[in-house]
Amino acid sequence: MLKSQETILEIDLSALKHNVTFIKSKLKSSTKFLAVVKAYAYGSDAVEIAKYLEDLNVDYFAVAYTNEAISLRDAGIKTPILVLHPQPEKFKLIIERCLEPSIYSQRVLNEFITVAEKQKQYNYPIHIKFNTGLNRLGFAEAEAETILNSLKTTEAIKVKSLFSHLAASEDVNEKDFTLNQIKSFKRIAKKMIDNLGYQPLLHQSNTSGVLNYPEAHFDMVRCGIGLYGFGNNPEINKNLKPVGTLKTSISQIHTIKKGDSLGYNRAFIANEDIKTATLPIGHADGINRLFGNGKGFVFINNQKAFIIGNVCMDMIMVDVTTISCKEGDEVIVFGPQHSAESLAESINSISYELLTSVSQRIKRVFYR
């Protein structure tokens, strides 16, 4: 890969393929694979990632919001797309663009039925979400009878899948809780299937669920963070390849004298002569202000350089006193050798937050 003279996010599609292959190796051949490409495919590029995954024959995509799905359709994506958090004002658009909504409450079910009937739909695919412990979105188990009664009143919709979401599948200390979620979902699914008279797809597992709970693979699994190289476990991470590498370069090198200040609010005062490098990336690009003042770091010539002073909107300054470097040298913010997980942990965050914070103004460069 080329040495960068600007701030770019390199996206390695061969790493993406590797991750899909590894995750699929944990599944039965009959288990469908849903790729989660919400939030610009976890901060990379949803359209390019989805096109590549479509070539790899994934069975489904999932996004959070309708507009994300429309962008994929506009780019030519034909694979079914599950919209996880559709808003009722978008229901007509969802039908027009052949998208499939998650239905998570009686209000949402009633409103979608109304729109589907007005649009003269027959057996339009919907996905019923049940809350088994995450307590975010989803029907309660006790509402199953009400759902079934509503479904009996219309032919405009048909249940394509029943699903739920594991809350702590990566945490070995929460195994009992997770097993109870799985048990609850099985019980709900049986009641629904017995009354529907046919069997929709069942899915509950996220990436950690796939890796830790094979009994919860059901008919389909939903993989997000694992696609992009993180398995929420150091041992699993060894088998995955981070897809993104965030790079920048040194714009200028300064010598800061003892007693001099650096950056906004004079947040850093040198207690000895030091050398600093200014980099063209800041909080507008996803480098949170919390990374400033010695918490966050980058890598220059494979050596760790800590961010000093406050993070600026478009720039950060790092301490390179002990690093041999020059203006124009490449800087790695995160990548396969310098994990986004480690950088995120320096401010008690997670890889998800760091990856999805990478600004859209940063150029994406793709490699196969």
Active-site residue list: 38, 264
Single-letter amino acid code for the residue at 149 = N
Burial class, 247, CB count within 10 angstroms (exposed 0-12 / middle 13-18 / buried 19+): buried
Cα–chain center distance at 108: 25
> What sign does the dihedral 263-269-273-276 (CA atoms) show?
negative
Contact call for residues 138 and 117 (beta carbons, < 8 A): no
- The helix or strand, by DSSP H or E, that contains position 11, with its residue range, turns out to be strand 8-12
Residue whose pair of structure tokens reads 């288990």 in the numeric block = 31
Work out the number of other CB atoms within 10 angstroms of the CB of residue 330.
16
Give burial (CB, 10 Å; 0-12/13-18/19+) of 96: exposed
**φ, ψ at 20 (rounded to 5°):** -60, -45
The distance from CA 271 to its chain's CA centroid, rounded to whole angstroms, is: 41
**Spatial contact of 333 and 318, defined as CB atoms under 8 Å apart:** no
| Of 115, 168, 167, nearest in space to 138 by CA | 167
Q: Render 72-114 in DSSP notation, one character per residue.
A: HHHTT--S-EEESS--GGGHHHHHHTT-EEEE-SHHHHHHHHH
Tokens of 69: 């799905």
